[in-house]
């Protein structure tokens, strides 16, 4: 049994089949990139897997148990964590507070009515360790609204790490980040725990080839390729999917 | 920038913790000091001052759900009124006249009303939420009007005679005992709420206000956290209502009104939401100002109150406390650079 397995996932919006019989499995330590042209159904796939949408058919298994009908929250506590394509952080809170909140949630203390997180030395230590690894220590006590965008992207990764996931879904971790900051994000991803299973959605192909040991290509809602990064560029169906949409765009214009 | 880095190395966050404790202590001393001063300076206005403290509890309760947790409501007087009527009915119909028992009853009824109204209000977001909250307070108002056998209806509930406080202090004509009880309740509630807003739960509520989707993605509960906050808020508002019952010995129908709910929101905006201090300052300034201006000009006082509000919203969008904090920060920063 794989750590994470999606089987025959199907989702229809009206007449449009957005996810067509998608199957995918991840093992501990996997570094998989999910790519595909615009409109291929990548975001829908993430929403189905994380429980923000319910599939019409198919199953999602995490560590041997069926989580297809579980709420997003339940999946997070079972170890399936996602990051967001568009940064979703709390603008008035500091990076330290963000990470502390994630740690408190993991320890089941996020709804405790008494005690201040600043009085918990163990928690503070772990929070500052995580911020240290991502080189965010210098800005740990500034509100997120004033820190740089690249640092906000890193904080997204810090939050994911604080939850100690078993499977991590990164939705375009480098979206909107300058190429100099992309290096920082790559460095951060390289430091993720080796046993963690990572599925990354990304458009930057150089980034994909450096990060992924396996590439899955989605086109028109279906998986058309699942293999090593070396083979993907040579695959005729992948070329067709990308160039096809490219050609369509030009024909339409 | 160097300050932040230094702050982080080693003693990080211990200094801010000490600062917040110092702020708490200073605030408690300020509340007691100001109360003592007002007690001495305005011995004839103790009834008004007690009413201000009772309303402060309502506005503090509103600050919890609106300022901290981000739930917009124009129906918070429902919780205040529930506390007021529970204490009043308990005293007038069931002989529960011990003032502390009346306060306890009010807090419990407020919490229950908070739980009920949160289930309704949290069904919607944004404008829909506001409309539902108005519906809740209007329904409560109608219910209290209808069941006049219990509530006295539009005549108000009378026949409430609180026993002596601790069996010793009579609720005198001047309202000295009521005022002291009110200030004591305010101090206890304030300290408890300061602990609450610094707790992980308080941090979670602030996070929910800023991005509930992100909170869900962290695996933390959103809905139940908000219901819990509403229950706590209801207890505080109910305490305020019960306090006003103990002090005035009557319960009027307008303690459950839309009007009071809206005024509470105005007081919160005036003082500044999301920091507890604003709720207290806003209530004091609003009610005092209202009292003063209506005495000077009974016909156009609302115009003057309206002008004050427009000025605050235009020139100090974070309320009076926000404006003061902003001035302070710019002075501190200016002095350093």
pTM for the model: 0.88
pLDDT of residue B12: 44
To the nearest whole Å, the CA of B226 is away from the closest chain A CA by: 11
- Tokens standing for A207? 């980034």
pLDDT of residue B7: 42
What integer best gives the mean pLDDT of chain B? 88
Phi, psi of B256 (to 5 degrees): -115, 25
Percent of chain B with pLDDT over 90: 59
To the nearest whole Å, the CA of B196 is away from the closest chain A CA by: 6
Report whether pLDDT(B11) > 50.
Answer: no
* Residues of B in Cβ contact (< 8 Å) with A128: 8, 12
Q: Do residue B206 and residue A92 have CB atoms under 8 angstroms apart? A: yes
To the nearest whole Å, the CA of A108 is away from the closest chain B CA by: 9
Q: Give me the residue from A73, A77, A93 closest to B206, CB to CB.
A: A93
pLDDT of residue A216: 92
CB B174 within 8 A of CB B43: yes
CB B110 within 8 A of CB B54: no
- For chain A, how are helix, strand and coil distributed in percent, rounded to 5? 40, 25, 35
- Searching chain A, which residue's CA lies closest to the CA of residue B192? A114
Average the pLDDT over B210-216 and give the result. Answer: 92
Q: Which of A184, A235, A191, A229 has its CA nearest to residue A210?
A: A229
pLDDT digits (tens, 9 = 90+) for B66-124: 999 999 999 999 999 999 999 999 988 898 889 999 999 999 999 999 999 999 999 98
Percent of chain B with pLDDT over 70: 94
pLDDT of residue B10: 39
Partner B contacted by A119 (CB < 8 A) = yes
pLDDT of residue A205: 82
Name the strand (E) or helix (H) holding B88. helix B77-94
pLDDT of residue B164: 81
| Weakest-pLDDT range from A38-52, B60-74, B255-269 | A38-52
pLDDT digits (tens, 9 = 90+) for B266-290: 999 999 999 999 999 999 999 988 8
CA-to-CA distance for B160 and B249, rounded, in angstroms?
A: 5
Q: Do residue A101 and residue B216 have CB atoms under 8 angstroms apart? A: no
Count of CB atoms within 10 A of residue A178's CB? 12
Average the pLDDT over B199-222 and give the result. Answer: 93
pLDDT digits (tens, 9 = 90+) for A11-41: 999 888 888 889 999 999 999 999 888 888 8
Residues of B with CB under 8 A from a CB of A: 1, 4-5, 7-8, 12-14, 16-17, 195-196, 198-201, 203-204, 206-207, 210-211, 213-214, 216-221, 224-225, 228
pLDDT band, residue A251 (cuts 50/70/90): very low
pLDDT of residue A16: 87
pLDDT of residue B134: 95
Of the residues A46, A83, A123, A141, the best mutation for testing chain B's interface (the one with the most B CB atoms within 10 Å of its CB) is A141
Phi, psi of A114 (to 5 degrees): -120, 175
CA-to-CA distance for A205 and B186, rounded, in angstroms?
A: 61
Q: Is A12 left (phi over 0), alpha (psi -120 to 50) or beta?
A: beta
Interface A-B, measured as beta-carbon pairs within 8 A, has a size of: 110
| Weakest-pLDDT range from A151-155, A212-216, B56-60, B330-334 | B330-334
- Searching chain A, which residue's CA lies closest to the CA of residue B68? A92
Concatenated DSSP letters of B119-147? HHHTTS-HHHHHHHHHHHHHHHHHHHHH-
CA-to-CA distance for B53 and B31, rounded, in angstroms?
A: 11
CA-to-CA distance for A196 and A210, rounded, in angstroms?
A: 17
pLDDT digits (tens, 9 = 90+) for A124-151: 999 999 999 888 999 999 999 999 998 9
Tell me the CA distances in angstroms from A204 to A37, A201, A209, B332, one per residue in order: 12, 10, 9, 45
């Amino acid at each position: 049994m794989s750590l994470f397995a999606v089987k025959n996932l199907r989702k229809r919006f009206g007449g449009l089949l957005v996810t067509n019989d998608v199957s995918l499995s991840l093992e501990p330590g996997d570094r998989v990139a999910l790519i595909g042209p615009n409109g291929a159904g990548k975001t829908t796939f993430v929403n189905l897997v994380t429980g923000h949408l319910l599939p019409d058919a198919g199953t999602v298994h995490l560590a041997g148990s069926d989580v297809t009908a579980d709420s997003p929250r339940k999946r997070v506590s079972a170890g399936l964590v996602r990051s967001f394509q568009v940064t979703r952080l709390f603008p008035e809170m500091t990076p330290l507070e963000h990470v502390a909140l994630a740690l408190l949630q993991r320890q089941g203390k996020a709804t405790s009515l008494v005690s201040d997180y600043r009085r918990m030395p163990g928690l503070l230590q772990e929070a500052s360790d995580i911020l240290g690894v991502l080189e965010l220590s210098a800005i740990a006590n500034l509100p997120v609204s004033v820190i740089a965008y690249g640092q906000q992207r890193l904080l997204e990764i810090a939050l994911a790490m604080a939850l100690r996931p078993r499977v991590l879904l990164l939705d375009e971790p480098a979206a909107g980040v300058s190429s100099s900051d992309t290096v920082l994000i790559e460095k951060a991803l390289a430091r993720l725990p080796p046993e963690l299973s990572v599925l990354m959605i990304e458009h930057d192909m150089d980034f994909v080839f450096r990060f992924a040991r396996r590439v899955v290509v989605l086109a028109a809602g279906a998986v058309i390729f699942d293999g090593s990064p070396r083979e993907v560029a040579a695959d005729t169906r992948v070329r067709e999917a990308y160039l096809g949409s490219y050609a369509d765009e030009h024909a339409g214009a | 920038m160097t300050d932040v880095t230094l702050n982080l190395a080693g003693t990080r966050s211990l200094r801010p913790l000490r600062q917040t404790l110092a702020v708490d202590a200073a605030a408690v001393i300020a509340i007691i000091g100001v109360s003592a001063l007002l007690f001495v300076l305005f011995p004839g206005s103790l009834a008004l001052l007690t009413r201000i403290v009772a309303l402060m509890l309502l506005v503090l309760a509103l600050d919890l759900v609106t300022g901290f947790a981000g739930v917009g409501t124009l129906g918070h007087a429902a919780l205040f009124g529930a506390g007021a009527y529970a204490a009043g009915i308990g005293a007038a119909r069931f002989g529960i006249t011990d003032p502390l028992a009346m306060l306890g009853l009010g807090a419990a009824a407020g919490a229950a009303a908070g739980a009920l109204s949160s289930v309704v209000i949290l069904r919607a977001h944004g404008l829909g939420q506001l409309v539902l909250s108005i519906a809740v307070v209007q329904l409560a108002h109608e219910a209290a009007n209808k069941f006049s056998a219990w509530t006295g209806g539009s005549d108000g509930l009378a026949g409430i005679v609180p026993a002596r406080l601790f069996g010793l202090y009579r609720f005198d004509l001047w309202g000295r005992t009521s005022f002291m009880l009110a200030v004591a309740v305010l101090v206890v509630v304030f300290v408890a709420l300061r602990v609450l807003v610094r707790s992980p739960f308080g941090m979670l509520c602030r996070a929910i206000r800023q991005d509930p989707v992100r909170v869900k993605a962290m695996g933390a509960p959103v809905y139940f956290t908000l219901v819990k906050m509403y229950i706590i808020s209801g207890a505080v508002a109910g305490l305020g209502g019960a306090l006003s019952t103990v002090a005035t010995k009557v319960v009027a129908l307008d303690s459950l009104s839309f009007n009071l709910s809206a005024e509470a929101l105005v007081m919160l905006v005036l003082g500044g939401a999301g920091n507890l201090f604003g709720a207290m300052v806003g209530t004091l300034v609003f009610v005092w100002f209202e009292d003063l201006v209506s005495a000077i000009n009974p016909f156009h006082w609302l115009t003057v109150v309206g002008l004050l509000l427009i000025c605050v919203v235009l020139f100090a969008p974070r309320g009076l406390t926000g404006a003061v904090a902003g001035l302070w920060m710019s002075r501190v920063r200016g002095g350093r650079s």
